[in-house]
Amino acid sequence: MEFCSLFDAQLAHSGPAAVFLPDTEGAFRFQPNWTRDAWGRAPGPHAHGWTWTLLRDRGSGFVLLALVTSPTLLPEHPRLEVRVVPSLEEAQALRASFGNPPIAAVPW
């Protein structure tokens, strides 16, 4: 797994709870808007601990992969179905199983 910059890697390893999404090259990038939104719904405090999270859009079924650096930051979302997966490899394999683009037609 790789981060798009040293800043993103440092933030993921020792910063506050945050959301990271892969960029077009697959490197994980800090997402300030997603993080602020999550903090607004779950203000913490948050223990540090990575979770590999699949997010299914309720409207389209599109499945997105995220690294969330606290298990309490994104337990639920008003527009997305949240599924935590034990490892990055399992999350990538599960997401790939939905096809290209990854669309999960059935809610979780």
Dihedral sign for Cα 7, 64, 107, 88, please: negative
Q: Identify any residues that bridge with 63 across adjacent strands, giving them in sequence order.
A: 56
Q: Look up the pTM and report it.
A: 0.95
**Is 90 exceeded by the pLDDT of residue 62?**
yes
| Average pLDDT of every residue of the chain | 97
Q: Identify any residues that bridge with 100 across adjacent strands, giving them in sequence order.
A: none
Give the pLDDT score at 27.
98
Q: Cα(97)–Cα(59) distance, rounded to whole angstroms?
A: 19
Share of the chain above pLDDT 90, in %: 96
Confidence of residue 63 (pLDDT cuts 50, 70, 90): very high
**Is 90 exceeded by the pLDDT of residue 108?**
no
Share of the chain above pLDDT 70, in %: 100
Confidence of residue 41 (pLDDT cuts 50, 70, 90): very high
The full set of domain ranges for the chain reads: 6-96
